[in-house]
Amino acid sequence: MKVGVFMAKSNKKKARQKRIRRISEIIFSILILLSIILFGIVISMKVVPLKFILPVVIAYSVMCVGLGLAILSRKLKLWVKVVIDFFCIILIVFFGFGIYYLNSTLHFMDKIKADNFQLEEYYVLVEKDASYTKIEDLDTKKLAVYQTEEENYQKAIDEIKGKAKIKEEQYSNYIEACKKVLNQQNDAVLISSAYKDIIADEIEDFDKKTKILYTIQMKVENEVNIKEVDVSDEPFNIYISGIDIYGSISLKSRSDVNMILTINPKTHKILMTSIPRDYYVQLHGTTGLRDKLTHAGIYGINMSIQTIQDILDVDINYYVRVNFTTLISLVDAIGGIDVYSDTAFRAYTDASCHYKVGMMHLDGKCALAFARERYAYSTGDRHRVQNQQDVLSAILKKALSSKTLITKYTKILESMGSSFQMNIPSSSIYDLVNKQLDSMPNWTFENYSVNGTDKKAFTYSYAGQELYVMEPDMKTVEEARNKIDAIMEGK
């Protein structure tokens, strides 16, 4: 009887030990699988230098061999195996988070590459109180159109004609065409979304006096000719274009922020060169009237790049395109930024944002208002450029700090989502990060902005009326070229 009881207990103990060993084997197998996936992604991305990866892989492999032997051992005490299982579970959680972070990076890079296009939008506008509710209501009505041979604009007219038998009334500029609708001399007007803000600047309460009856959207690929370089070893220029809209980054619009980042990975120097939005320049490939630099964005990112290359006589290697939503979301994602204000004021674009003299901690909304402010300063747009550089510097310093990268990494990627475009290859970014981790250098920043004189002039994009522009001071343009050349040459 006693022998039978003893045998039963012994069998139960063996069965329990077998179950525990089986569970340990499953946990260990999951750990090995996640390890292979994580190290595979890290090695394939080429972000971390091999001199860091190899010692880790070797040490980890030795540890895994030891853990595996311990798990398979029948002599190890139960509590020791429990400790080993707990340790393996901690590693599984750690590797799981690592895979999640790396996959977030890969997904973000793929999304940026896939979304590398711009949308051209056209609006059919009618008077605010007009009875029209759909495009078909304009059948036999007068549509004011702009005299242009632009292909997409003509396609938009054809689409409208397919829905209503409109009567075209042609005008030499958008302002005149819009005024005819407001004066009820025409029933509707077809305008490009990129021109809508220009018109709103010239016609008081234009947005309040009109409504959008119909929207036409066309997709245009960003065809930009660039000179790729090895960013981990060669100096390069990045054009930062900040467009004046919220929401999707894909929509064509004016480029209110125009900045060149000149980066030398050997000397670890970064130069930020700003060009005011109203700089009076010859748009690339055009003749006759010059235009505001901000209007180059209306014709696409390539026009802005080529025009700036003409101005500064430099090669732009890559571009980054952001908008109001990008800045707000990014600043909020990193927990706000600290900037210095030399003037006390209430923001013109957002009255809820107040600024005092001294260092201030700003959320995304007020960081944007600070970057857009010009009316609070006697130097107007010149001071706004300085604010833009201060905001960008604060974002870079905060976002690149180790604490922020670790705790807010996924939030940073999510914040840029659909409001961020660039054409920098992901492999180049990984190479640059690899180089940074390999040598851990300290980067130095320098700011510069070209200058000019204020005046009124007719522009290429809006020839019907004189607008405020800034006549370039060629001495400052030459100085900008020299500074860029110095960084590129490693001086």
Backbone Cα Rg of the chain = 30
What is the arithmetic mean of pLDDT over 430-458? 83
Looking at the predicted structure, is the pLDDT value of residue 435 above 80? no
Tally of CB atoms within 10 A around 195: 22
Looking at the predicted structure, is the pLDDT value of residue 334 above 90? no
Cα 95 from Cα 36, distance rounded (Å): 10
- Predicted confidence band of residue 359 (pLDDT cuts 50, 70, 90): very high
Contact 280, 457 (CB under 8 A): yes
User: Comparing 335 with 252, which gets the higher pLDDT?
Assistant: 335
Residue 262 backbone dihedrals phi, psi, to 5 degrees: -100, 115
66-77 pLDDT tens trace: 888 888 777 777
Q: Give the HSE-up count for residue 184: Cα atoms under 13 Å, Cβ half-sphere.
A: 4
Rounding to the nearest 10 degrees, give the CA dihedral for residues 301, 303, 309, 312: -100
SS3 149: coil
The pTM of this model reads 0.77
Q: 74-83, 428-437, 466-475: which has the highest mean pLDDT? A: 466-475
User: Comparing 408 with 119, which gets the higher pLDDT?
Assistant: 119
Q: Which residues contact 77 (CB under 8 A, 6 or more apart)?
A: none
177-236 pLDDT tens trace: 898 899 889 999 999 887 887 788 788 889 899 999 999 988 877 677 777 888 888 999
- Predicted confidence band of residue 305 (pLDDT cuts 50, 70, 90): very high
* pLDDT at residue 14, as a whole number: 62
Q: Which residues contact 317 (CB under 8 A, 6 or more apart)?
A: 226, 227, 228, 229, 236, 237, 238
- Predicted confidence band of residue 427 (pLDDT cuts 50, 70, 90): confident
Q: How many residues can be counted in the chain?
A: 491
Looking at the predicted structure, is the pLDDT value of residue 11 above 60? no
Contact 308, 316 (CB under 8 A): yes
Sequence letter at residue 399: A
Q: Which residues contact 98 (CB under 8 A, 6 or more apart)?
A: 38
Cα 194 to chain centroid, rounded: 19
